[in-house]
Each structure stands twice: as C-alpha cells, then as structure tokens.
Structure 1
Amino acid sequence: MRVAFVGKGGSGKTTLSALFSRHLARSGEPVLAIDGDINQHLAEALGLDEDHLDAPPLGAHLPEIKDYLRGTNPRIASREAMIKTTPPGRGSRLLRLLGDDELHARHVRRVGDVPLMVTGEFDEGDLGVACYHSKLGGVELYLNHLIDGPGEYVVVDMTAGADAFASGLFTRFDITFLVAEPTRKGVSVYRQYRDHAREFGIRIAVIGNKVTGEDDLLFLKEQVGDDLLTHLVHSPWVRAAEQGRTEGESDTLEPHNRHALDVLRQAVDAGPKDWPALHRHAVEFHLRNARAWADEATGLDLAHQVDPDFVPGPTALN
C-alpha cells in the first residue's frame, strides 16, 4: 500500500511519516520510506546520526532511472523521450518493493530499522531555473512502475501545503493522511485536499496533531467532520527525540500516540488496492502533461507512450 503524509508546513507531517514508518518496520512488515519534501528532514526524523545520508538522491539520477525503467518498452525510444509521468507498458521494467534490482541497490539506505530513499535537496544551482517538482519525477516514475504486494508499505513524506498538487503525484497513493493542527491555518490545507480528492476518488483521512485538550479536539471535529481518523497529543518523547535525547525507539512513545499509530495501520489495511484506478490516473496526468508542454519539448506525440493493452497490477509481472 502506498501512503502519503501531507499538511501545512510545521504541522508535523515529517514526524508522523517517521513514526509510522518506524511503527511498521518494528512490526516486521516490509516498508520503504521516501522523503519527497523540499526540506529533506525525514532521515533526521528517523534518527540519522551522521551529518548526511549516504544515499544518491533520486532527483540527481533521473536519466539513469529512466533508462532502467523503460527496459525494452518499444513505445519509449530513449531516455529523452521519457518524462516523469510516462506510464509503464509491455516491456517496461516493473519493480517489487525493496527488490533485488539496481534501482533499490543504488538509492536505498537504512536509517535504523527503516529503508529510506530521498529525492534530494533544492540547491543553489536550481534557483531560478528549476522547480522542486522536477526532482519529484523520480518518485513519480518509481511509484508508476512499482508492483507492491499485500503487507508491503511505501510511506512518502510529501511537500507541504498545496504544492503537492503541482503534479499528478498526489493521485499515486492508496490513502493520503493529512496532518492538521487544531488551528484555522492547520485545517486550510485539508479543504484544498478534500476537494481534489473527491474529484479523483482518492481516500483521505485527517490526523489531528499537537492536540492539547478537548477544545482542540472539538475544533477539529467541527472543521473536518468524519474525515478525522485519530489524533496525537503533545509528546514529550517526540520532543526529546527531536533534541537528540532518545535512542530513537518508539516503545516509549506515549500510549495514546502508540494507539493512534495502530489506528493508522488499520485504516491503511482496510482499504482496497485499486490497480485500474492507479493506472488510469497515471495515464490521465501523462496525457495532460503531454498536451501542456511535453509534446512540444520532446517533438514527439507522447500519447503514443500509453500502451492500451497493458494490464496493471501483479499479473503484469508475468
């Protein structure tokens, strides 16, 4: 299952992404965390001790990723013809989660119990000439070509606020958790996400964060209604971890917050895996990008890259 964490900057979505990833990993389930935020802090939230993560970022290796994933697909003539939205077809290289392949071997590093991939930072060389969403192309291509099985999890810490709508990446998940503080600004992103989610049939659930009492909880219930799944209370353990005063283990997390993580896991597992919908969204946003800019940029009709006979899902591995 593919899980996205979104929310206003400072809402705690990176902290929740790390807590949930660690929670899954400690239960023995295959899990991969991906840092897709412009502020690359997920490794630190997972407990990285070093100054930086020794993992080549996806955003810096898009040409190699394209070459690998296009495989022998006859509809994709070259890496230059492949854009971030290009969907898989017959002949494409499909991925198993944490499989024995060169993409995972190159880009995945463990931070504690959790395998992690990163998109890379928005650096000085990008200023004025690129947008951060160009770096997220590696994540979009990865998810488009991933065949994740039962009991396998991908947890993505997304960009903050409405920036997540700048590409079709927001449609690539089985469920999206929106982290909201009990403030008007905290729930404003929820309203934007709710409307887009309804348009594309995307499952969303709200996680209240930094809740200090009944008034906070009542505010969230009034603002988001039945979309409120659970909430986390102020956590001295999380604050200590952020200050480097714990060993990164979650078994000392407060009982209420541990229960909230269980609720998230139950919500993820309760949802269906809709392969046709995931592929349909991938194709739709590919065609949108082709018409908007990519046909002109490549000099090709990129609608031709859509393989009408490709059947998404586990059967495609055969």
Structure 2
Amino acid sequence: MKMAFVGKGGSGKTTLAALTARRIGAAGPGTTPLLAIDADINQHLAAALGAPEDEAVMLPALGDQLPMIKEYLRGANPRIASADAMVKTTPAGTGSRLLTVAGPNPIYEALVRDVGGVRLAVTGPFATEDLGVACYHSKVGAVELLLNHLVDGPDEYVVVDMTAGADSFASGLFTRFDATFLVCEPTVRSVSVYRQYIGYARDFGVRVHVVGNKVDDASDVDFLREQVGDDLLTWVGRSDFIKAAERGVARPIADLEPANAAALDLIRATLDGCVKDWELYTRQGVEFHLRNASAWASAKTGQDLSEQVDPGFVLGPQALHLADR
C-alpha cells in the first residue's frame, strides 16, 4: 500500500512521514516490507529518520541515475523503442520490468539505503547547476516512473514525502497513492493549502485524510474540525519526542507518547483499509501520460509517445507474469 504525506511547507509533513515509517518498521528490518522515498525539493527525510546531516547528503540520488532506471524498467517492452524515449509518465506494459516493494533489483541495489532501520530512496537535492535551467520535477519524475512500475500488496508499504503545498499537482504523481495524508497545522495558512489541495484531488478521486499537527489543546482540534470537517482523521500533539525529531534527534520510536503513537497507528490502519483498484490506477497513469505526450513529450522525443500505451495491460499482481524478469 502506498501513502503520501503532503501539506504546507513547515507543517511537519516530513517529520510525520518519518515517524510513520519508523512506526511501521518498528518490528525490525525485513519483518514488514517497507520503502520510504523523499520526493521533496527540500531533502530532509533522511535526517528525520536519524541520519547525520553529512551522511544524508551522501545518499545516492534517483534523479542522478534516471538513464539506468529507464533502461531497467523498459525491459523487453516492444512499445518503447529506447530508454531515451521514456518520460516520467511512461506506463508499464507487457515486457516491462516491474518492481515489488522488497524484491531485489539493480535499482534498489544502487539507490536504496538503510537509514534508521528504514529502506530509503531519495530524489536528490536541487543542485547548483540546475538553477535557472532545470525543473525539480525532472528529478521527481524518477519517483513517478518507479511507482508506475511498482506492484505492492497488503502489509507492504511505500511512504513518500511529497513536495510542499499544491506543487505536487505539477505531475501525475499525486494519483499514485492508495491514500494521501495532508498534514495541517491549526492555522489559517495551513488550512488554505488544504482547501487548494482538496479541490484538485477530489476531481481525480484521490483519498485525502487530514492529520492535524502541532496541536496544543482542545481549541486547536476544534479549529481543525470547523475548517476541514470529516476529513480530519487524527492529530498529533506537541511533545518533547517530536520536538527532538524536528531537531534531528531520532529517539527510539518506542518512546513516542501513547496518544501520538495511536495517531500513527490510525494512519496505518486507514491505509490498510483502502481497497486497491488497479484498473483505476492504470487508467489514471495512462491519462497523464497521454496529456504529457500531447503537451510536450512527443515533440521533445520526436516520437508519438501515445503508442507506448499497452491497451490491454493493467498493472497489478496478475501482471507480474507478463513482465521481463
């Protein structure tokens, strides 16, 4: 099951993404298949998971290995002429190489590292040479490609820390999750981001649950209820544990206050309760690919990228036997 954490910059979404991943992985490495991905332009998830700052910046970046990622995922798909013809929205088809959450593959071997007991992949920072000439979404495109080729199941988890605000709607990545958790402070500015996000998301049937953060008292909860209504799933109160986490000190997850631990468990239970719809997931991916093909991608590559769509292909467990293994 795949979850995204979104919200206003500074709302604490990275902290909650890290805490949720650590809570899920608390049983120990390998017990629960788990993959965390930092898809935020501000690459702080590794630090939130407990990596020292100097180690966090040394993690291998998905965005730096996009040609390798494309070549591997292309596999023997006859609809894709070359890795160069693949764009961020290229969908999987018969002959593509599909990923599972924990299964071995060259991409994970090269780019996934254990950080604080959590397997983590990062898109990579916005480098100096990118300033003024590149869009960060070219790096996030690696994440979209991975999720377009990923088959996950019950009791398997992918936790993605997304870009702040409504910026994640600049790609089709926002449709790649079973549930989206919008972290919202009890402030007018944070609520305004919620309203903007929810307005876009509901047009695509995206499940959005609000998680209140930095809650001090009942008045904060009342404010969130008034502003977001039934979308409020749960909330996390201020605490010494979370304050330490936001300062880069990852205490043992077992020390988290019971009320806040229960909030994280509810996030997981809510995700577990989602019914996967692989046909919808595939259809939405194809829709955004065709939009990109028409808007810019076909012209950029010099090929009609609408032909990359395999009309009889539906991503999901049943597609694993169609993959190039």
Smaller-chain TM-score range?
A: over 0.9
- RMSD of aligned Cα (Å): 1.1
The TM-score normalised by the length of structure 1 is: 0.97
TM-score, with normalisation over the residues of structure 2?
0.95
Q: Secondary structure at the match of 1:29?
A: coil
The one of 44, 48, 52 aligned to 1:49: 52
Q: Which residue of 2 aligns with 1:107?
A: 111
1:59-98 to structure 2, matched below 5 A, reads: 59-98=63-102
The answer to whether the aligner puts 1:310 opposite 2:313 as a matched pair is yes
- The reply on whether 1:210 has 2:250 as its aligned counterpart is no
C-alpha change, 1:247 and 1:191, in structure 2 (3 Å) is: closer
Q: Which residue of 1 aligns with 2:151?
A: 147
Deviation at 1:162, TM superposition (A): 1.1
CA contact (8 A) 1:46 1:248 kept: no
For residue 52 of structure 1, give the secondary structure of its aligned residue in structure 2: helix
Match of 2:274, as an amino acid? G
Find the partner of 1:298 among 293, 298, 301: 301
Counterpart-to-counterpart distance in 1, 2:133 and 2:252: 41
Once the two structures are TM-superposed, the CA of residue 193 in structure 1 deviates from its matched residue by 1.6
- Residue 21 of structure 1 aligns to which amino acid in structure 2? A
CA contact (8 A) 1:95 1:145 kept: yes
| Alpha-carbon distance in structure 1 between the residues aligned to 2:118 and 2:260 | 19
Secondary structure in 2 matching 1:99: coil
How far apart in 1 are the matches of 2:184 and 2:61?
28
Identify the residue that residue 137 of structure 1 maps to in structure 2: 141
SS at match of 2:235: strand
Contact 1:174 1:273 in 2 (8 A): yes
Helix, strand or coil at the partner of 2:199: helix
Structure 2 partner of 1:7: 7
Find the aligned partners of 1:305 and 1:115 in 2 and give their Cα distance. Answer: 31
Q: Secondary structure at the match of 2:99?
A: coil
CA contact (8 A) 2:15 2:246 kept: no
- Equivalent-residue separation in structure 2 for 1:219 and 1:212 (angstroms): 12
Q: Is the 8 A contact 1:33 1:114 kept in 2?
A: yes
Structure 1: which 5+ runs fail to align? none
Q: Partners in 2 of 1:56 and 1:90 — Cα distance?
A: 30
Q: Distance in 1 between matches of 2:117 and 2:38?
A: 16
2:256 aligned partner, one-letter code = L
Match of 2:239 among 228, 235, 240: 235
Letter in 1 for 2:146: Y
Matches within 5 A, 1:115-134: 115-134=119-138
Aligned partners of 2:15 and 2:245 also within 8 Å:
no
Decide whether the 8 Å contact of 2:41 with 2:136 is kept in 1: yes
Tell me the SS of whatever aligns to 2:234: strand
Identity of aligned residues (%): 62
Report the Cα distance in structure 2 between the residues aligned to 1:62 and 1:292, rounded to whole angstroms. 21
Aligned residue number for residue 24 of structure 2: 24
Report if aligned partners of 2:186, 2:224 keep a CA contact under 8 Å in 1.
Answer: yes
Q: Deviation at 1:247?
A: 5.3
Aligned-residue offset at 1:55? 3.1
Matched length? 317
2-structure distance, mates of 1:184, 1:64 = 44
Task: Measure, in 2, the Cα distance between the counterparts of 1:243 and 1:231.
Answer: 20
String of CA shifts for 1:46-73, please: whole Å, max 9, x gaps: 0013612343210011111100000010
* Residue-by-residue CA offset, 1:54-109 (whole Å, 9 max, x unaligned): 43210011111100000010110011111110000000000111211101111110
Separation of aligned partners in 2, 1:68 and 1:108? 15
Which amino acid is 1:138 matched to?
Answer: A
Aligned partner of 2:292 in structure 1 is 289
Deviates more, 1:298-307 or 1:247-256: 247-256
Paired residues of 1:55 and 1:106 also in contact (CA < 8 A): no
Given the superposition, is the C-alpha separation of residues 15 and 225 from structure 1 closer, same or farther in structure 2, using an over 3 Å criterion? same
- How far has the Cα of 1:194 moved from its partner? 1.1
Residues 217-251 of structure 1: CA distance to partner in whole angstroms, max 9, x if unpaired?
Answer: 1110000000000000001112123445x553111
How many angstroms does 1:132 deviate by? 0.6
Q: Report the secondary structure of 2:151's partner residue.
A: coil
Provide the C-alpha distance between the structure 2 equivalents of 1:115 and 1:208, rounded to a whole number of angstroms. 26
Partners of 1:161 and 1:189 within 8 A in 2 = yes
Off by >3 Å, runs of 4+ in structure 1: 241-244
Gaps of 5+ in 2: none
Q: Which amino acid aligns with 1:176?
A: T
| CA distance in 1: counterparts of 2:22 and 2:7, whole angstroms | 20
